[in-house]
């Protein structure tokens, strides 16, 4: 990439610091990670000055499942602009109807109704509202270390560190450890409306559910008249090698939350998918919940094509083949970096690198960046580095990634040892 003499990165950082987030600007500058995305395409991001390239292994939590600026999605949006706009959320809409019909057809059981939003947090909020309205109960149980968004009700399901600064905890929410069915059983009371879980908790470090856990949660919810909400904002849409991660575990939730990748990285859109019976809460007043930009008609055009691509058998077969290549490569790295790289958490291309301790995650994030890889540690378990390549990644890019991972691990171990000597 050639540098652009008319671009002043220092001014970009100054304006960002003065008018967007001084903390973020200061953080990245302090670690010499002054990257400002410019050109992007496929698996790669280029710095706006053109002097650095990053292979994106974070994908903004799955937003870029289909890579950056997927040409088919760009074309869908361009064509859509010839006749469509955001639309009016009060009115019946062809793009909304067609996208919802396709999504419902790709869901198992009677998950037939789609309520649109503009982001995952909004979709989680709606899921909780529906659960309370349908059951007439109020309590919501979530997992410690889980994450469902930064909006009101979604925030209340998360860890204290994300909400305490903003005031008192909203009533009616309780967290239990992920994977412990006995603790969940004790937590469910007569006033419990729903259990909300990420099928694979990403911010907790890509924790794979223990064998039988989700099936036991499903049975428990059925026995106690509690709704099961599964958040597939990050793990859905083919990320795990199946279209929906819950397919691996033989369960069908009452509500599914989708976002991020549904946008194709092109147009923000999210969806809360409801079992048929739950839609009844909107019968008396169908306008009791609205979202001005949720299900924007241009976004629905993009979403429909995302669903078509992501559900193709050949696409899912490719995800599983790339996952196999990564598993083979990381197994070799585990042998080479014994005692520092501790393990690989993996279901398809939903992966997490387990490292030595909580200091190593932030260190490795920096050394990965220095080696041309965009990776972030899991905020609720800093021992684990999130490993989310675009699902379109090819074999040669897998090999490139593994070479750079090897170098980043060596650099991280050296940095770790130097810090240890100073402490």
Helix pair 71-80, 297-310: axis angle to 10 deg: 150
Q: At a CB cut-off of 8 Å and minimum separation 6, what does 25 contact? A: 13, 16, 17
Q: Given a cut of 90, is residue 372 above it in pLDDT?
A: yes
Exposure string (b/e) for 261-296, b if CB count within 10 Å is 16 or more? bbbbbbbbbbbbbbbeebbebbeeeeeebebebbbb
Q: Where are the domains of the chain?
A: 9-64+313-422, 71-310
Stretch 321-337: mean pLDDT, rounded? 98
* pLDDT tens-place string over residues 57-66: 999 999 999 9
Q: How confident is the model at residue 423 (pLDDT cuts 50, 70, 90)?
A: confident
Q: Given a cut of 80, is residue 334 above it in pLDDT?
A: yes
Could you say which DSSP state residue 166 is in? G
Return the CATH number of the domain spanning residue range 71-310: 3.40.640.10
Residue 231's beta-bridge partner residues?
198, 257
Which pair of tokens denotes residue 44? 């790669």
CATH class of 9-64+313-422: alpha beta
Q: Give the pLDDT confidence score for residue 375 in this predicted structure.
A: 98
Which pair of tokens denotes residue 287? 């306008």
Mean pLDDT value across the chain: 96
16 in Cβ contact with 25 (< 8 Å): yes
416 in Cβ contact with 360 (< 8 Å): yes
Q: Give the pLDDT confidence score for residue 20 in this predicted structure.
A: 97
Q: Given a cut of 90, is residue 420 above it in pLDDT?
A: no
Q: Given a cut of 80, is residue 5 above it in pLDDT?
A: no
Q: Give the pLDDT confidence score for residue 255 in this predicted structure.
A: 98
Say which residue the tokens 């309520």 belong to. 115
Q: Give the pLDDT confidence score for residue 2 in this predicted structure.
A: 46
Q: How confident is the model at residue 178 (pLDDT cuts 50, 70, 90)?
A: very high
Stretch 221-248: mean pLDDT, rounded? 98
Q: Given a cut of 90, is residue 261 above it in pLDDT?
A: yes
Could you say which DSSP state residue 68 is in? B
Say which residue the tokens 């019976």 belong to. 277
Say which residue the tokens 């790669």 belong to. 44
Q: Given a cut of 50, is residue 353 above it in pLDDT?
A: yes
Taking the C-alpha atoms of residue 112 and residue 90, their distance in angstroms, rounded to an integer, is 20
Q: Give the pLDDT confidence score for residue 1 in this predicted structure.
A: 41
Q: Given a cut of 60, is residue 4 above it in pLDDT?
A: no
Q: Given a cut of 70, is residue 141 above it in pLDDT?
A: yes
> 391: closest CA among 70, 45, 46, 52?
70
Phi, psi for 113 (deg, rounded to 5): -115, 140
Taking the C-alpha atoms of residue 367 and residue 410, their distance in angstroms, rounded to an integer, is 9
Taking the C-alpha atoms of residue 246 and residue 161, their distance in angstroms, rounded to an integer, is 28
Q: Give the pLDDT confidence score for residue 61 in this predicted structure.
A: 95
Distance of CA 364 to the CA centre of its chain: 21
149 in Cβ contact with 122 (< 8 Å): yes
DSSP string covering 299-343, please? HHHHHHHHHHHHT-HHHHHHHHHHHHHHHHHHHHHHHHTTTTEEE
Please state, as a whole number, how many other Cβ atoms lie within 10 Å of the Cβ of residue 30.
Answer: 9
Whole-structure pTM value: 0.96
> 265: closest CA among 306, 232, 234?
306
275 in Cβ contact with 104 (< 8 Å): no
Distance of CA 7 to the CA centre of its chain: 32
* pLDDT tens-place string over residues 282-316: 999 999 999 999 999 999 999 999 999 999 999 99
30-34, 38-42, 99-103, 181-185: least confident range:
30-34
SS3 383: strand
Q: Given a cut of 50, is residue 336 above it in pLDDT?
A: yes
């Amino acid at each position: 990439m050639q540098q652009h003499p008319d671009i002043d990165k220092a001014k970009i950082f100054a304006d960002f610091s003065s008018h967007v987030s001084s903390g973020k600007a200061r953080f990245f500058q302090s670690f010499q990670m002054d990257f400002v995305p410019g050109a992007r395409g496929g698996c790669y991001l280029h710095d706006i000055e053109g002097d650095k390239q990053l292979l994106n292994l974070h994908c903004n939590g799955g937003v870029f499942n289909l890579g950056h600026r997927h040409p088919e999605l760009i074309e869908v949006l361009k064509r859509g602009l010839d006749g469509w706009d955001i639309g009016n959320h009060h009115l019946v809409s062809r793009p909304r109807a067609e996208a919802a019909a396709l999504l419902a057809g790709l869901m198992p059981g009677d998950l037939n109704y789609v309520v649109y939003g503009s982001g995952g947090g909004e979709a989680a909020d709606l899921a909780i509202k529906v659960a309370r309205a349908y059951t007439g109960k109020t309590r919501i149980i979530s997992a410690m270390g889980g994450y469902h968004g930064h909006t009101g009700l979604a925030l209340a399901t998360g860890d204290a560190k994300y909400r305490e600064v903003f005031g008192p905890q909203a009533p009616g929410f309780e967290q239990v450890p992920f994977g412990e069915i006995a603790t969940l059983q004790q937590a469910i009371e007569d006033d419990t409306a729903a259990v909300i879980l990420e099928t694979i908790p990403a911010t907790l470090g890509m924790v794979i559910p223990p064998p039988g856990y989700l099936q036991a949660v499903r049975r428990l919810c059925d026995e106690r008249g509690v709704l099961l909400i599964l958040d597939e904002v990050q793990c859905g849409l083919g990320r795990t090698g199946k279209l929906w991660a819950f397919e691996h575990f033989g369960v069908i939730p009452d509500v599914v939350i989708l976002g991020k990748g549904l946008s194709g990285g092109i147009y923000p859109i999210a969806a809360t998918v409801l079992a048929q019976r739950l839609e009844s809460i909107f019968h008396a007043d169908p306008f009791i919940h609205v979202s001005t930009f949720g299900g924007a008609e241009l976004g629905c055009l993009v979403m429909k094509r995302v669903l078509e691509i992501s559900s193709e058998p050949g696409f899912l077969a490719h995800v599983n083949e790339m996952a196999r290549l990564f598993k083979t490569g990381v197994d070799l790295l585990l042998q080479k970096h014994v005692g520092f790289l501790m393990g690989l958490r993996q279901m398809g291309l939903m992966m997490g690198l387990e490292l030595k301790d909580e200091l190593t995650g932030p260190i490795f994030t920096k050394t990965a960046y220095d080696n041309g890889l965009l990776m972030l540690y899991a905020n609720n378990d800093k021992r684990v580095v999130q490993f989310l390549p675009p699902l379109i990644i090819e074999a040669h890019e897998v090999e490139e990634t593994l070479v750079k991972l090897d170098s980043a691990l060596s650099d991280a171990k050296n940095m770790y040892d130097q810090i240890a000597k100073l402490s």
